[in-house]
Structure 1
């Protein structure tokens, strides 16, 4: 399965060339896309021709250490969405984005928090990362709660991204959350 990371309930693996339908189905749910495109689905051709090939190329670019990974329930094997841990395209490898997109059926299950915590731990223990960051819209409280639960804090208020003016709540902008290796180590020491 080419496992990248496992928690008690979720397994992450690399996407494969035949996974386009999973991404198309995920991005066709208006609620999943609410804070990304205003509920508009991602065009299937875009997924097949650009998005999925870009995800596959990124595994080679970062020698498999970073990327966007398909998430599956360990019990039953259902596809639940994806998680990413990746630097910006031309950015430093020591600063990586944490992100996630889950099928609506997986919302409220704790998967986002469980896997995000595991990815933050992996970033600081295995990948020599200095900062893990994530960004979300001001109205997206569920995503903010996930980042807060894994120890991230708001470091910046973000303006409305270009092209997202029509998305609900876009006028409120968003937030950049971060956790540094030092912050993570202090929080870990308290937990232990």
Structure 2
């Protein structure tokens, strides 16, 4: 009796329609790497034209504060290497997005009040739109005011770090745009 029951169940299962296939995962939206490369190059070019209003700051090396106070920067763990970018670029773009938001907020803060950088802000905003990947418009976070005497030093440090970040970011976009 048991073998007959198994045969009936097997025939019944064979006649049933197959279960619906699981929906395919949504493909990762690939950013426009060529546009990102062009904008990152423009950002680097614009950074090269920014001059210190106080020439003594040009050659000055400021000591870095504690690492927990550093702005977002691309690290090895961010998977921005060429091999990882081919298959999964989300972590790398997340880090780039964080840093771009940070520097955009810095450019809009009081440390650049005496030396506004509208072209830098515009280029950074355009680049930020390209790496958003469906996250909507990034909010602006107002920064705490700085003392007037600190502003030139803070501006110098911010531009130095932004130049360094822009160089690494350009390498990421240059590779990805190939």
What TM-score do you get using the length of structure 1 for normalisation?
0.24
> Taking CA–CA contacts closer than 8 Å with sequence separation of 6 or more, which of the two structures ends up with the larger relative contact order?
2
**Larger % of strand: which?**
1
**Larger % of helix: which?**
2
What TM-score do you get using the length of structure 2 for normalisation?
0.26
Bigger Cα Rg: 2
